[in-house]
Structure formats: C-alpha cells, structure tokens
C-alpha cells in the first residue's frame, strides 16, 4: 500500500510544551518529532510539520482560522491528510469554523491536543498525536480517506468536530459529542462507525476556502431573573447581525411580553436570532411548549441540536457569505456539514 503523507500543523496549546534542562515548560520543536517519538516511524506515513506562531488557544481569532484554512488549502494537493495540534480551550470553535470554511473537503483534517503537556511523563498528548496521524492517514482499499471530514480526536474517540464541546477542564477525556456517536472508537483496534462518517457530496470537486466571517454576533444565555434592560441592551448593541440565544430545555424561554416584543423588534430589523438549548444533549423543538411556540412565532430560527460552538461559527460564516435574511435562516436550520440533526 502507498505510504500516506500527512502534514502536522502546530498552532500552540498544551500539547506543544516540554520541559527544558531547567525544568520549565517551553514550546516543543515539532520538526524533531521523529527523533522524539521514534514510534511514528512505524506508522508507514511520511510526516511534515508546519509551525504557526504558537498561541494559547484562548487568543484565537477568526483571522487565525482563515490563516489555518489557507495553510490547508495551499498544501492540499501535496498531502493525504492533515493533523492540527491546537489548544483544547477553543479547539471545538476552531474546528467547527474550519468545517464550514473548507468547502468540498475530501481529505481528513483531524484536530487534537492534550490536557497534560507533551514533555510531562504522564502526557495524554503522545497517544492523541500518534492516533490522530494514523486516523488522518487511513484509507480504504480504493485509496480513499476513511474520514474525509473535519474531526477531533481525543482520548480514544474520534468525533465530528462540529459536534464537540470541551466538557472538562480536568478529565483526560476532555471532549464530548452528546448528539452524535463517535466516528471511530480506538481500543486494541480502531473501529470506524461508517454509517456516521460523511463522504464528500461530489468526489474530486476542488477544495474551496470560504473564509469570510462576520464577527458581529453575540451569545445570550437565559437565566431566571434576566432583566428587560439588560436583554434589550445586549440585543441593541450597534452593528449586531446575529444572536445565538441559549434557551432552556427543548428551546423554551419566558413568555413575558417584554421578552417576546424585544425579540420581535430585533428580528424586524433583520437580526438573525437562533435558538439553541443550554442542555448538553438533546435538541430544540419550539412547537412542544407554549414557551417555545411564541419564539417560533416571533421569527426565531431553530438551531435543533447544534452546540454553541457550531451555532456561533456557522452564524458568523453564513453572515459572511452574501445571502439574504431568508437564505441565512433556511441554511441555519439545514445541516451543511453534519452539524445538526433535524
Ligand atoms: N490554555 C491551553 C490552550 O487552549 C489549554 C490547552 O491547550 O489544553 O491553548
């Protein structure tokens, strides 16, 4: 079988830290990866490394997502797959954004990182990195990639990236995908869940980077006691074009007149308001209760079972494309990259 070639893109985060002679944590030189981890030589994979200016992922910006998307596009024909090493804090945001920005993707882009720095003996980074490379390189008998989508590998599970959230600051299994089963589970063997993995709609269509995002959005998380003044003030911020509303349960919110009227006013001004649930699992179904039905009548868009990370990045991305309000609402309610179930 032909050797796969994989490009590792290092962006920063805990995975890239090692101890120097003085015992302090310093960035790891991924160009020496094969000397550090001789095990990667046994993978039957050619590895190259592209190092971005390393950052703590709390500092990530949409401009950086665009830079990353272009690195992938510029190297697309030379590699069979990509492994992106990223800080865990915002990995689900970056990976969700990339899933929308990379149009016609037909090669694996696997995000991973670690909770314990690479240079610490008990690191989870070594296994995450080695398995991510193996997943990015895996092909079927025809030589087609087994996972041709943006995915996130962490602690024995490969997820569709835009279905994930970081759920623990402590556990080594830091990521969850509550509304979609893993694309693969890693034990003694790697077991792929073929029925869940997306295949490209058009095979061999050229990859296109659609990196225009509009940052003029806000997230509003409901809580009992949220006042009319604060709600109105947040929704009236100048320039806001989109609101991700984190509601209760199956998409419920107060039925108070001031609440519904505030939403009606902003929607009438052309602001896209998307309803997602604060619950970790399950979906919005606005028709179930009166408290949800009123939102539907006010013109709120249903976010179904999207994570906040997927809803925020999808809304930014759709607002960045030249679409009408109706097209944005329709696309928000439709699965574009497997990010929602409806
Ligand atoms: N603060 C770090 C980051 O997200 C944490 C990590 O990498 O796990 O960059």
Query: Got the DSSP string for 198-238?
Result: ---SSTTPPPEE-------EEEEE--TT--HHHHHHHHT-T
Of ligand 1's listed atoms, the one at least distance from the Cα of 56 is: 9
CA distance 30 to 51: 8
Ligand 1 mean position to 224 CA, how many Å? 32
Question: What count of residues does the chain have?
Answer: 342
CA distance 79 to 46: 9
Write the CB contacts of 70 (distance below 8 Å, at least 6 apart in sequence): 209, 211
Of ligand 1's listed atoms, the one at least distance from the Cα of 114 is: 8
Nearest Cα residue to atom 3 of ligand 1: 87
CA distance 53 to 256: 49
Write the CB contacts of 55 (distance below 8 Å, at least 6 apart in sequence): 11, 12, 64, 87
Give the global pTM. 0.96
Nearest Cα residue to atom 1 of ligand 1: 56
Q: What is the number of other CB atoms lying within 10 angstroms of the CB of residue 122?
A: 8
Q: What is the number of other CB atoms lying within 10 angstroms of the CB of residue 225?
A: 6
Q: What is the pLDDT of residue 162?
A: 98
Q: What is the pLDDT of residue 107?
A: 97
User: Is 272:330 a contact under the CB 8 Å cutoff?
Assistant: no
Q: Sign of the CA dihedral 24, 25, 31, 36?
A: positive
Q: What is the pLDDT of residue 247?
A: 97
CA distance 233 to 227: 10
Of ligand 1's listed atoms, the one at least distance from the Cα of 91 is: 4
Q: What is the pLDDT of residue 21?
A: 84
CA distance 265 to 48: 53
Of ligand 1's listed atoms, the one at least distance from the Cα of 115 is: 8
Ligand 1 mean position to 49 CA, how many Å? 20
Ligand 1 mean position to 16 CA, how many Å? 10
Q: What is the pLDDT of residues 40-80, one digit of tens each?
A: 778 889 999 999 999 999 999 999 999 999 999 999 999 99
Pocket probe mutation, ligand 1, options 91, 95, 113, max atoms within 8 Å of Cβ: 113
Q: What is the pLDDT of residue 1?
A: 67
Pocket probe mutation, ligand 1, options 55, 58, 89, 173, max atoms within 8 Å of Cβ: 89
List, for the chain, all residue ranges whose pLDDT scores fall below the cut of 50: none
Ligand 1 mean position to 117 CA, how many Å? 10
Of ligand 1's listed atoms, the one at least distance from the Cα of 15 is: 7
Q: Which residues are catalytic?
A: 14
Q: What is the pLDDT of residue 38?
A: 76
CB-based pocket (< 6 A), ligand 1: 12-14, 56-58, 87-89, 113, 115
Torsion of the alpha carbons at 204, 206, 212 and 213, rounded to the nearest 10: 10
Ligand 1 mean position to 13 CA, how many Å? 4
Burial letters 124-158, b for 16+ CB under 10 A, else e = bbbbbbbbbbbbbbbbeeeeebbbbbbbbbbbbbb
Nearest Cα residue to atom 8 of ligand 1: 88
User: Is 296:302 a contact under the CB 8 Å cutoff?
Assistant: yes
User: Is 156:333 a contact under the CB 8 Å cutoff?
Assistant: no
How many contiguous H segments (helices) and E segments (strands) does the chain have? 9, 18
Ligand 1 mean position to 66 CA, how many Å? 20
Q: What is the pLDDT of residue 202?
A: 80
Q: What is the pLDDT of residue 19?
A: 80
- Compute CA distances 197 → 66, 95, 337, 342, whole Å: 25, 16, 11, 17
Q: What is the pLDDT of residue 110?
A: 98
Q: What is the pLDDT of residue 95?
A: 98
């Amino acid at each position: 079988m032909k050797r796969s070639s994989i490009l590792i893109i290092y962006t920063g985060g805990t995975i890239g830290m090692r101890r120097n002679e003085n015992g302090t944590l310093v960035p790891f030189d991924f160009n020496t990866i094969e000397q550090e981890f001789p095990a990667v030589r046994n993978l039957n994979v050619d590895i190259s490394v592209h190092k971005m200016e390393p950052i703590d992922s709390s500092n990530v910006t949409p401009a950086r997502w665009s830079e990353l998307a272009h690195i992938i596009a510029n190297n697309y024909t030379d590699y069979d797959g990509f492994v992106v090493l990223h800080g865990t804090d915002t990995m689900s945001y970056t990976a969700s954004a990339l899933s929308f920005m990379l149009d016609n993707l037909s090669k694996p882009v696997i995000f991973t990182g670690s909770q314990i720095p690479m240079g610490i003996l008990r690191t989870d980074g070594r296994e995450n990195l080695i398995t991510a490379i193996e997943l990015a390189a895996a092909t079927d008998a025809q030589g087609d990639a087994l996972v041709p989508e943006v995915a996130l590998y962490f602690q024995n599970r490969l997820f569709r990236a835009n279905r994930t959230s970081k759920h623990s600051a402590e556990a080594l299994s830091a990521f969850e995908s509550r509304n979609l089963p893993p694309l693969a589970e890693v034990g003694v063997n790697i077991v792929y869940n073929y029925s869940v993995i997306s295949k490209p709609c058009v095979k061999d269509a050229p990859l296109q980077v659609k990196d225009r995002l509009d940052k003029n959005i806000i997230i509003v998380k409901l809580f009992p006691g949220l006042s009319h003044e604060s709600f109105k003030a947040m929704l009236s911020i100048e320039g806001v074009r989109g609101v991700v509303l984190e509601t209760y349960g199956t998409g419920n919110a107060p039925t108070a007149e001031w609440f519904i009227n505030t939403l009606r006013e902003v929607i009438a001004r052309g602001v896209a308001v998307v309803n997602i649930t604060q619950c970790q699992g399950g979906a919005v179904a606005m028709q179930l209760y009166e408290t949800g039905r009123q939102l539907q009548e006010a013109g709120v868009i249903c976010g179904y079972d999207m994570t906040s990370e997927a809803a925020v990045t999808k809304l930014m991305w759709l607002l960045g494309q030249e679409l009408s309000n109706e097209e944005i609402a329709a696309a928000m309610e439709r699965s574009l990259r497997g990010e929602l179930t409806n």
